[in-house]
Amino acid sequence: MRKVGYLSTLKDITEKYKPKNSKLNFSQYIKDFYTQVTRVNPNEYSAYHQRGFYRHLAVSLSIEEALGMLMGEYTTLVIFDPINHELNYKNSKLLIHTLDFYNSEEGKKYIDSYEFNDQTFPSYAIVGWMAVEKIFKYDEKSFAADKDLHLLGESLLNYKNSCGYEGSDVWGIVLKKPIFLNPPICNVLQPEGINNGELWGAEDLSHLEAFDIALQAKVEYE
């Protein structure tokens, strides 16, 4: 896109979305403006996105684990070696993203038991979110005490060894207030290299749009 033409387009967008009266919410104007900018030029990562939906996180889980978490069967997500942004994510919404079934046959029976199917709870979709209440580091004693909250056994050492993270720190994220999205945000692929149980943030425009839709959707219940 030629620079002169692009600047002219930005000017047109500014005029189109300029507040008509002083009572208009300015933050909504900024959002509408940058939404149009990214549609014109998908490579334009706006400051609005970077400050807003770009800071949110999702966790990718197998369909069975995602549904189990949203249904309250377990309430503590266990992660390895979190980065600073993850450690400071308290009181934020953690988006729940599905991968495929861990066990296809048993998994389909499991979601059917809750009256879900591959349309209402699909793979590779953002299906809901939960509020992050607390983030803390586990030791052997606290990991064993929380065995009914994370469902990963009593031994922290055994769990780390089974995952191949013998020398890593293990942290727990306590989640509450599950929200189901109806409909879910479908066809969302996690970033390359993200595996089951790992956190991630938006890395491209499709992620930003999916996060935007999910976080502003009318929820079925709270």
Confidence of residue 104 (pLDDT cuts 50, 70, 90): confident
For CATH 2.30.130.30, the residue range(s) in the chain are: 56-216
Q: What is the pLDDT of residue 87?
A: 84
% residues pLDDT > 70 (the chain)? 73
Average pLDDT, the chain: 81
**Which strand ranges, in their side-by-side order, compose the sheet holding 170-186?**
76-80, 170-186, 125-137, 93-98, 57-61, 199-201
Spatial separation of the C-alpha atoms in residues 214 and 75, rounded to whole Å: 21
> Tell me: the pLDDT tens digits for 180-214?
998 999 999 999 999 999 999 988 888 888 998 89
The residue that leads in pLDDT, 93 or 13, is 93
3-class secondary-structure state, position 175:
strand
CATH of the structural domain 56-216, one choice from 1.10.8.80, 2.30.130.30, 3.40.710.10, 3.40.190.80: 2.30.130.30
